Chain A
Amino acid sequence: MSNFEQFANQPYQYGFTTNIETDAFPPGLDESVIRAISEKKQEPAFMLEYRLKAFRHWQTMREPTWSAVDYPAIDFQAISYYAAPKKKEVLNSMDDVDPELKRTFEKLGIPLTEQKRLANVAMDAIFDSVSVATTFKEKLMEKGVIFCPISEAVQKYPDLVEQYLGSVVPHTDNFYAALNSAVFSDGSFVYVPKDTVCPMELSTYFRINTQDSGQFERTLIIADTNSSVSYLEGCTAPAFDTNQLHAAVVELVALDNAEIKYSTVQNWYAGDPKTGAGGIYNFVTKRGKCQGKRSKISWTQVETGSAITWKYPSCVLIGDESVGEFYSVALTNHKQQADTGTKMIHVGKNTTSTIISKGISVGESDNVYRGLVQVNASADGARNFTQCDSMLIGDQCSAKTFPDIQTRNPSATVEHEASTSKIGDDQLFYCQQRGMTMEQTINMIVGGFCQSVFKQLPMEFASEATQLLNLKLENSVG
Chain B
Amino acid sequence: MLFSVDRLCASIDETPILNGLSLSVNAGEVHAIMGPNGSGKSTLAKVIAGDETYAVSSGSIHLNGEALDEMDPDERAMAGLFLAFQYPVEIPGVNNADFLRQAYNNRQKHMGKPELDPLDFDGVLQTVLKQLRMDTAFADRDLNAGFSGGEKKRNEILQLLLLNPSLAILDETDSGLDIDALRIVSEGVNSFKSDTNGVVLITHYQRLLDHIKPDFVHILYKGRIIESGDAALAVSLEKHGYDDIVQAYESAHANG
Q: Which residues of A are at the interface with B, using a C-beta cutoff of 8 A?
A: 424-427, 429-438, 440, 444-445, 447-452
Contacts and interface: CB of A to CB of B under 8 A. Distances in A.
A432 B88 CA distance: 13
B218 interface: no
B69 to A, nearest CB: 16
B99 A444 contact: yes
9 contacts: A429-B52, A432-B77, A435-B107, A436-B103, A444-B98, A444-B102, A445-B93, A448-B93, A448-B142
Contacts of B76: 433
A429 B50 CA distance: 8
A430 B85 contact: yes
A448 B91 contact: yes
Nearest to B107: A435
Nearest to B79: A435
Contact of A435 (B74, B98, B142): B74
B92 A448 contact: yes
A437 B88 contact: no
Given A434-B103, A436-B106, A452-B93, 19 more contacts: A427-B89, A429-B51, A430-B88, A431-B91, A432-B50, A432-B72, A433-B49, A433-B77, A434-B159, A434-B163, A435-B106, A435-B110, A436-B102, A436-B103, A437-B74, A444-B91, A444-B102, A445-B94, A447-B93
Most buried by B among A435, A444, A448: A435
Given A432-B74, A435-B77, A448 B94 contact: yes
A218 to B, nearest CB: 37
B24 interface: no
A435 B89 contact: no
B42 to A, nearest CB: 13
B132 interface: no
B235 interface: no
A478 to B, nearest CB: 13
A426 B51 CA distance: 9
B73 A433 contact: yes
Contact of A447 (B50, B77, B94, B159): B94
Taking residues whose C-beta sits less than 8 angstroms from the other chain, chain B's interface range is 20 to 34
A401 to B, nearest CB: 20
B37 interface: no
Contacts of B190: none
- State the majority secondary structure of interface residues on A: helix
- State the majority secondary structure of interface residues on B: mixed
A438 B88 CA distance: 18
A451 B93 contact: yes
Contacts of A437: 74, 106
A352 B2 CA distance: 63
A451 B91 CA distance: 12
A448 to B, nearest CB: 3
Contacts of A427: 89, 91
A426 B103 contact: no
A85 B89 CA distance: 56
Interface of B: 49-53, 72-74, 76-78, 81-83, 85, 88-89, 91-95, 98-99, 102-103, 106-107, 110, 142-143, 159, 163
Contact of A433 (B83, B91, B98): B83
A430 B163 contact: no
B46 to A, nearest CB: 8
Nearest to B109: A435
A427 B49 CA distance: 14
B248 to A, nearest CB: 36
A433 B68 CA distance: 13
B92 A435 contact: no
A198 B88 CA distance: 47
Enumerate the 4 nearest inter-chain pairs by beta-carbon distance, A residue then B residue, closest first: A448-B93, A432-B73, A435-B77, A448-B94
B12 to A, nearest CB: 13
Contacts of B89: 424, 426-427, 430
A434 B165 CA distance: 10
Contacts of A447: 93-94
A429 B99 CA distance: 14
Contacts of B83: 433
Contacts of B74: 432-433, 435-438
Contacts of A433: 49-50, 73-74, 76-77, 81-83, 85
Nearest to B72: A432
A432 B103 CA distance: 9
A431 B98 CA distance: 12
A450 B93 CA distance: 8
A385 B101 CA distance: 35
Nearest to B142: A448
Nearest to A430: B89
Nearest to A425: B53
A232 B99 CA distance: 30
B103 A435 contact: yes
A135 to B, nearest CB: 31
A453 to B, nearest CB: 10
A83 B143 CA distance: 54
B91 A429 contact: no
Nearest to B91: A427
A437 B159 CA distance: 17
Contacts of B110: 435
A449 B73 CA distance: 23
Given A436-B102, A444-B99, A429 B94 contact: no
Contacts of B49: 429, 433
Contacts of B93: 445, 447-452
Contacts of B103: 434-436
